Each structure stands twice: as C-alpha cells, then as structure tokens.
C-alpha cells in the first residue's frame, strides 16, 4: 500500500492519540492537524513528536463549532509548526488536494455537526476519505441522506469507526455469522480514564448526554464545574444503560439484525485507569439447524480506550483509502469493511 497522507480535525484525546499511534502504523503520515484556534500543515509530514509535546494537556477541541470549554491551553497554536486561525477546518479543506484521508476527531455535540463537515468537503470537491468516531444513532441517517452528494464528489465516508461503534460493531457482525437469525446483540464496555481524563473531557461530555435527565443540548451547555459535580455525584464511576450508540443502526444497515435488537451500555471510571468491567460483545441467535446459542467476544482488560479507539480508527482509515482508490465512494459503516492493519 502506498503511503497515506492524512489530516486530523481536533487535537483532544482522540486526535492526539491518532497522531501518536500513526507512528506505529505502516504507511501513515500525518500532514495536517487543527483545533479551535490553530492549524498545522506540512505536506511532507508533520513533526509528530513536537506537535504532541506542544499540545499536551489540550482539552478536546471542536474546530470552532461547539462549546467553548474552560481550562483550554494554546493547543495546536503552541506548536512551532502551527499558525493561529479563525477558520481551521476551512484552512485544511483549502489544502486537501494532497490529503488522502481526514480523521474527524471532534465532539459530536450537535447532531448535524459531522454531516455538515462532510458537506463542506464535498462542496470543495474534495476527493478522498473521511472517517469519524461518532456515537449517535440518528447521525447515520443524516450521513446516508448525503450519500449521493459524497459519491458524486468522490468521497468515501467511513462512519462510526472507533471502539463502539466501530471495533465492537465489526466484532458483532463477525460473531453473527454463526447464525441465520439474530435475537439479540449486547455490547457492554468498560473504560478507566484517570490518566486520560483531562484529554478526553469532550468524550465524557458526550457520554453524560446519555444519562437520565440529560440530552445533547443540556450536556453541551454544561460547564466544566458542572461536569465535575456529576462525576462527584457518582463517586467517579458512571454507569450507562440503553445508550443511543450508532451500533444499532450500523448493524441494521449492514443486514445483521434489527436496530431494536441491539443494546449498548457500559461503565466509565474517571478515577482509575483500570477498567471497571470487561468490554464484551454477546451475540445471541439461531443456527441453520435450529440451535440457539451465544457467541461472546471480549477485549482484554490490558487494552486501553486509546488503543481500542485509535487503532481501529486508523485501520478503518486505511481500509477507506483502499476503497477510495478502487473507485468506491459513499457511506460505509464498520460492519461493511474490515480495518487495515
């Protein structure tokens, strides 16, 4: 595979780790990165070590489209490779002719935020790959509504390509192959986030939107102090049930099962790096000879959230580039293709 030159929108926890992780992935070269206030572009390849050192401690950034968070340091602007800007995403779009793929690592705190970013790339006649790690089920329909526009532009969009949805969605699709009819898919995740809490506040904010009494709009309006109060109320360990994660619609659109047969939940511990529970996928179904069974897939507790999100995200990015170079455009989910290693 030829080298893949990629950009990262957002240098919070996921964006920074993707750049760091790419050093260990063959044929991947980060050439652009941005946050709310700055952009770094070098088509020969960014100095990843310098950029990561400059953005260390950066709170999840949103490219100028979501909530302004307190405690933000200078982010990308602190890097010697970067320039301040009020239009970070547009600056990368303007330089996208030689960018093979773009990882959208921004908090999805407006339902149509990521679909609107896709529109901006399409309107600029970008021909390449867009990958996101979104979580909300209803966003998939918004992307499917734009599928024809993306196809006409020559864009291959891989949606929900993180851990869940993403890695675990793909695992469920594989586990389902033993059966002719799926009765239930249960995805249960565990994340210990003590050392990465500051870098992943945007992710925590998104998760809080799934708690009783909260939604996207109310979570988006929370201050950092209010988030800390919620964390304290749960003694740092928050359990989520029946989350609106896109695994359900992604499995349905791949023909695996009905969306209503999929449940997603998990436990987040922001005061320990150890997982509070083992991340597990359970697929229950009926085989062709009438037997009912359950296939179970578990992630080892030693694999971190960063590894389970960024590894698959970059793997799906590489798979998207292969599809794009083969002339396959439109919207793909993590159950539609296998990630590249």
CB atoms within 10 A of CB 276: 19
Would you put residue 297 in left (φ > 0), alpha (ψ -120 to 50) or beta?
Answer: beta
How big is the chain, counted in residues?
A: 341
Distance CA 36, CA 48 (A): 19
Handedness of CA 325, 331, 336, 341 (dihedral sign): positive
Q: Are strands 156-158 and 330-332 parallel, antiparallel or unpaired?
A: parallel
The strand pair at 38-41 and 82-84 is best described as antiparallel
Q: How many whole angstroms separate alpha carbon 82 and alpha carbon 76? A: 6
Catalytic residue, chosen from 5, 135, 275, 318, is 135
Report d(CA 141, CA 147) in Å as an integer.
Answer: 10
φ/ψ of residue 193, rounded to 5: -130, 20
Beta bridge partners of 129: 101, 156
**Which residues does residue 269 pair with via DSSP β-bridges, in sequence order?**
192, 237
State the DSSP code for 98.
Answer: G
Q: Write the CB contacts of 52 (distance below 8 Å, at least 6 apart in sequence).
A: 16, 19, 20
Q: Is 234 a catalytic residue?
A: no
Q: Could you give the CA distance from residue 259 to residue 277 in angstroms, rounded to a whole number?
A: 24
Q: Which two three-digit tokens encode residue 26?
A: 């063959």
Where would I find the H helices in 154-292? 167-175, 201-208, 216-220, 224-233, 247-253
Residue in this structure with the two tokens 């455009």, named with its chain if needed: 329
**328 in catalytic set:** no
Which among 210, 245, 275, 318 is annotated as catalytic? 210
Q: Is-catalytic flag, 210?
A: yes
Q: Which residues are catalytic?
A: 135, 206, 210
């Amino acid at each position: 595979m030829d080298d893949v030159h990629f950009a990262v929108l957002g240098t919070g926890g996921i964006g920074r780790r993707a750049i760091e992780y790419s050093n260990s992935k063959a044929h991947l070269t980060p050439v652009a990165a941005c946050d709310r206030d700055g952009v770094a572009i070098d088509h020969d390849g960014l100095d990843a070590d310098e950029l990561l050192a400059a953005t260390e401690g950066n709170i999840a950034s949103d490219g100028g489209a979501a909530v302004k968070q307190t405690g933000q340091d200078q982010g990308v602007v602190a890097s010697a490779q970067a320039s301040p800007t009020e239009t970070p995403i547009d600056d990368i779009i303007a330089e996208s002719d030689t960018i093979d793929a773009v990882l959208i690592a921004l908090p999805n705190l407006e339902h149509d935020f990521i679909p609107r970013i896709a529109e901006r790339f399409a309107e600029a006649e970008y021909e390449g790959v867009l990958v996101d790690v979104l979580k909300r089920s209803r966003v998939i329909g918004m992307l499917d509504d734009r599928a024809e526009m993306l196809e006409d532009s020559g864009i291959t969009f891989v949606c929900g390509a993180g851990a869940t949805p993403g890695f675990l969605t793909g695992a469920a699709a594989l586990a389902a192959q033993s059966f002719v009819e799926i009765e239930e898919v249960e995805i249960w995740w565990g994340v210990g986030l003590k050392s990465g809490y500051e870098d992943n506040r945007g992710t925590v904010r998104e998760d809080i939107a799934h708690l009783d009494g909260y939604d996207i709009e109310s979570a988006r309006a929370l201050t950092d102090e209010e988030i800390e109060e919620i964390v304290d109320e749960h003694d740092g360990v928050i359990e989520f049930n029946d989350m609106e994660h896109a695994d359900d619609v992604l499995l349905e659109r791949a023909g695996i099962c009905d969306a209503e047969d999929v449940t997603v939940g998990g436990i987040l511990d922001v005061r320990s790096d150890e997982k509070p529970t083992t991340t597990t996928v359970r697929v229950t179904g009926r085989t062709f000879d009438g037997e009912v069974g359950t296939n179970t897939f578990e992630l080892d507790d030693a694999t971190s959230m960063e590894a389970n999100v960024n590894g698959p995200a970059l793997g799906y990015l590489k798979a998207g580039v292969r599809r794009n170079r083969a002339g396959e455009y439109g919207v793909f989910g993590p159950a539609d293709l296998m990630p590249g290693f």
